[in-house]
Structure 1
Amino acid sequence: MSRSILAASALVLLAAVAVSTAIGTTSFSSATYVATSANSATVRASSDWTPPTVAMVAPSGTVTGTTTVSATASDPESGVASVQIQRQAVNADGWTAICTDTVAPYSCAWATGSVADGQYDLRAVAVDNSGLTAISEQVRTVVANNVVVVLASPGDFVRGNVPLSATIHGGSTLSWTVTMEYAAAGTTQWRTACSSSSVVNGQVGCTWATSGLVADASYDLRAVARPTVGGSYTSAVVDDVVVDNSAPVVTMTDPGTPLRGTVTLAATATVGQNDSGIAQVVLQYAPATTGTYRNACVIAAAPYSCRFDTTTVADGSYSFRAVATDNAGNVTTTAAVTGRVVDNTVSSVSVEDPGAFLTGTVAVQATASSTAGITSVRIQRAPTGTATWADLCTDTVAPYSCAWDTTTAADGLYDLRAVLTDGSGRQTTSTPVTGRQVDNAPLRGVDVQSANGGGTAGRVTSGDSMTFTYSRTVAPGTVATGWTGGSLAVTARFRDGTVTGVGTGIKGDTLDVRIGTTTINLGSVNLKEDYLKSGKTVTFNATLTAATVTVNGIDRTVITLSIGVMASGTNSSLRTVSLPAAMVWTPTSAVRTTDGLPCSTAPVTEAGAADREF
């Protein structure tokens, strides 16, 4: 084989690796390609593919004057090149460097007199000698070169008698009276929540009685400390604390009777407009003979349902109920649905739900039991609303399942069922799983990913980005009128899941993209976490670009949304998320291929391991 053919093969392999990396992950190595001549090429791999580890050391107590701040960092491969220690005032947005150190121990002197007294977050940014970067978790401290009052947050959601506490820094020689105050969020009409003159070692607390006295709503809180010598000191505001003394409304769905095999237990749960949101719903069952309830399942997000294997309990009469708890701790228990009989002494069969959208070859499974033994289980399909049942397969050995090639059926809605034949020749037919959408549209969404642009991890900031990958090339003009794929100025709109018209819940904050007041045809993304405070909407100036990548010989369109500066809303409306989640993107059928085929509306779950977005 000639050297030119070898070089060409290497280039093709390198291009395939690059495309695969761009689609499957959001982090990149520092591997470099070096062309040595027109007929040959070499690939040089980095010796370090792992970022350094770094941790910020929390200062001990309150800081004053010039104090030493430090971090620890290590990198066993290429070594640590530098560590920068940064500060950010609490509820501000934007990190400021205190110092950069290149030699361990990584530390510096922080002249705290150059900043305003108050609470600060500190973090460390480490860079290794291969150029890889890591950012530490944040630690919090208080700068108190004068008297400073710090009000502790009672939590995002409160109810009943709420303990409030504050700390007075720098006033240990004085006698104090401290008043905790509240005002409707965003206003300055302050009212007294409670007060106390019992200050011990700078600590003071009192109880805010909210039940029956304070309307369910969002409030700002502050502490005002007054020494006996006169004057006053006011803490920073703790904003958007939701008072919720209203119990959630929950209803247990009747599971029916008799119950056999695996059945669905379900409940509905709602809260008012100013309530804190549902934290969880517990579905429970109790034998009629004991009345002692046990948990069938605990569900943290709607729909509040689960599959319950009745063969795990003894046959007999049972009661079922649901217990809903909101984020403030209010609890509601439904009336019991009684007299529901579990009877697994006869044949039972059920089809497991394969999902709302079916594409390509999918597994359809059934569970079955019979005291007379099982001869066979047939799994069938029929167009929804018809009785035209066709066999997918017949299985004689558990687990009973079929590999259904949905491309052999026309796109549309289908019902699924299973027919059990027992050892006596009797047949039992399952309750159908209805309205499952077969969707083999050639254009569909295949992935959605976000990337941190160097700001606070888990918080939407300028420089962050999101990519949307389609299975084929799309016509940019069907995404936004007149767009050709070049840089397009847009607005990225982030809405809390409790905003009217969104309705995705406390951990269902959403993103869509707009030009002016018109939402473009990029669909919407459920971020599956709580990135905004209750009822808030924040927009960012952004740009949209489209590119074509080739995967396995197929051209695909990747659309990138790059987040710019905030356009509306406030930094205090944003939350920093610490929990991983997998986003879900719902495309629109208005987007089409270059030859006019519409896009599937099947939801797309973020590929890869669950992580924090942005």
Structure 2
Amino acid sequence: MPRQRSALVALGLLLAAALPAGAACVTSAGSWKNIPLAPQAGAFTVEFDATPARAGIDGVLGLSRAAAAGYASLAAIVRFNSSGRIDARNGGAYAAAASIPYSAGLTYRFRLAVNVPARTYSAYVRAPGASERLLGSNYAFRTEQRSVASLGNMGLYASAGSETACTVAAADTTPPAVSMTAPAAGALIAGSVPVSATASDDVAVAGVQFKLDGANLGAEDTAAPFTAPWSSAQAADGAHTLTAVARDAAGNAATSAAVPVTVDNRAPAISGVAASQLSSTTAVVSWTTDEPSDSQADYGATSAYGASSALAPAPVTSHSVALSGLSAGTLYHFRARSKDAAGNAALSGDFAFATASPPPAPAPAPGCSLVGAAWHNAPFAARTGAFTAEFDAVPSGAAIDGVLGLSNGPASGYASLAAIVRFNSSGLIDARNGSAYAASARIPYAAGSTHRFRLEVNLAAHTYSAYVRAAGGAEQLLASGFAFRSEQASVGSLGNLGAYASSGNETVCVPTVSAPSADATPPTVSITAPASGATVSGAVGVTASASDDVALAGVQFLLDGSPLGPEDASAPFSTSWNSAAASNASHVLTAVARDAAGNRTTSAPVPVTVANATTAGGYDQAILRDRPVLFLGMDTPDSGAQVDLSGHGNNGVYKGGTPASATLPNGDKAASFNGSSQYLTVAASPALSVPASGALTIESWIRPSTLQFPRTENEGFVYFLGKGNPADGYEYANRMYSLSNSANRPNRISDYAWNTSGGLGSGAYFQDPVSTSQWILVTDVINMRDRSSSYPTGYISIYKNGVLRGKVRLDQYDVVPGTTQSPFNVGTRNYNSWFQGAVGKVAVYDYELSAAQIAAHYAAMTAAPGTAADPPSAEPVSQEFRAPQRFLSPALADGVNDAAVFGPRAAEVRVFDAQGREVFHAARPAGGSPIVWNGRDAAGRLVESGVYIARVKKDDGETSYQSFAIVK
């Protein structure tokens, strides 16, 4: 083991006949003997020689804080034991790393490497003519000395026999090692800087003396870290050398490698300060320095300056700084700043220059007037119908505030104007739309540039559109269908152009007024996505580009000639297409662009192929055919996100950790929440709130993993989905009670709706025995549209596994649901309770699903392979399911029909089973007989009992859905 060299104490125990010169010896035979040492409080090494007088003695040798008078005084101890072996003390007992015997009359060299702060030591022993051996490694001080702070004595005691100890002199001839650490070689020095070095020694460093050019720099530093301050101003500018001399206690010394530095304490000398190239808004300040330095100028209207140019850091001797944004005809004070590489800064005296006066404004052209802060009016023949007014205007500056508008008679204030355009103080052109200024595009203006304005006015509608064209540019739409200023909302005629500039000036020319020109040019339009021939699935973004010589009114997308969503009235033109609602086949997308004059253009058709993967049991197709506004598969918790399969962008994010995976009855995946922190959240959207005069349906599949939830609300229930919290307001939620709860509602499942302020909610429920392996389809309906004497403000109902189980008045507690900014959460509602179990296939619809649709959803899930779901209750759903006949048509429900006859406007009918498979397809030719389905598939086989959905396309292109029940 290498020796610790921070300190060395040499001792020896030798026979008197073998003492080296200068050594001191003591002998113990039944009494304590002590040799004082220099006190040691850190890490140090002690060596001594010891000789037992005979074999089988019992003698200890150890280190203590002061003279030892008993075994407990010793901290680090070695021993000749009575068994003829050498050992050492480790805390509360003697031990040895190896069995080392001793012999009478032989001298043994001991070395103890001691660490006082750690209260440990390692011991080594060497017999005459042999190698050193480890006796004990990192042994603890004797227990009674476990808090000793220093050691300054060696004690010995032989209780049987005798032993002798002698000191051994040791010389230190190794010089320290030293190197400079700051400043760096070649550094440029100014002012006061620290000088530092590192030094080490095999024993201990006594001190470090810094030197400048060979002379002492301050006093010797006797403790690490070794450093000294140096005021370089006391040295001459120029080259110098720094060194450090380290010495140890034995007088050994070493000098570091020299570090060359350059002292520079003189600031640059500034001369030749001048201002040139003066204009009304700019100037150039220049000066010279006698050494390379940076450049900056202070300037302002007084000698306090107040502004500075950007710092030019490049070191130069010839300096030039450009100033801009100055005021015309103004006296400016300025001064120059320069700083050299050493950081010495110089500042010039005060100087001054004056900017040039602004050029006189050009005289307006004939028929034009210069307008300032006084109203200017240019009358024309009054108009009472539609007309066009054109005029030129020139702003005097880049950020004036000037309006130009049409009025009924001379204008004397802003409120006199009806149709208004403006050069605003932000450097942009805008127009008045009712009570506020706005613009259809960002149109900047430039000082002195002529702008041609064209206003298309419709007095009957009290609206106008505005266009502007800068000199040499193309006309741009500024305002489309803007309303007259609010104060002029009922004006009957306009016959004046009024102008006013509250800041700056504007030149306005006499307007020309004419009847509006007819727009006969149709727009241009093309579909930009998806690409022609593309294969698509799921939610598809459909986009188009369109333009018009006047202005576009909107773009309508079409799928196979039928509208695909509403018309998009503003660019960028796009819509989201849920391709899962279309058949897996070829389809054609087109876009129709329309302008305000009614001109229309249809884009080139874009053929695409729909190829949606069929999910297990066709459940997803069954849901998507019913057009949800949100559909979450709950099958991708590992990704941290859940895509809204409905195509409406109501995507979810998993929070509080990653839920485990569960399996639905049809084999699809679901998310299993831990009941303590995990949930999924969807940002608030109006589509997820109950419409004021409409309905909302919420569906979810749940499977609790416990019947006694660990984190519940006060009455012992948890919310497994809902919208509502104290900060954003309350809407609706689903809850499930624990088996044992204070309300005595074992495993009740209910849905509730609240006022946005909270309080008591109206709710429907069912209460059946539940098992942890049971999947349950929970469907809620909140209807504020269908009101009656029984349901004055609407109703809330709940279905279990496709069967209606409860329906109550919505005004049960004066509840009127509203729209809030609360997120839609699954697994919790407002983070006070947590559902422990699996949740799958969550869907929201912005209308009330029929009983047949809800039953079809249940059938679509349970018809697939996998874990069986809870069977439906025997309670009937509707008259359809009670009918005894084999086939029932809602149109001909007389109890004897064996065929479904569709109305005369049904142009095409497709019938799908609960798994989403098409079983019937027919189209009616023009003038042909109504379409009839006799309950057989394309091969003529009678279909199985169950729920079927018919998609009916009418002769006007509208599509509707009907449900049927087949009962054999």
TM-score by length of 2: 0.19
TM-score by length of 1: 0.28
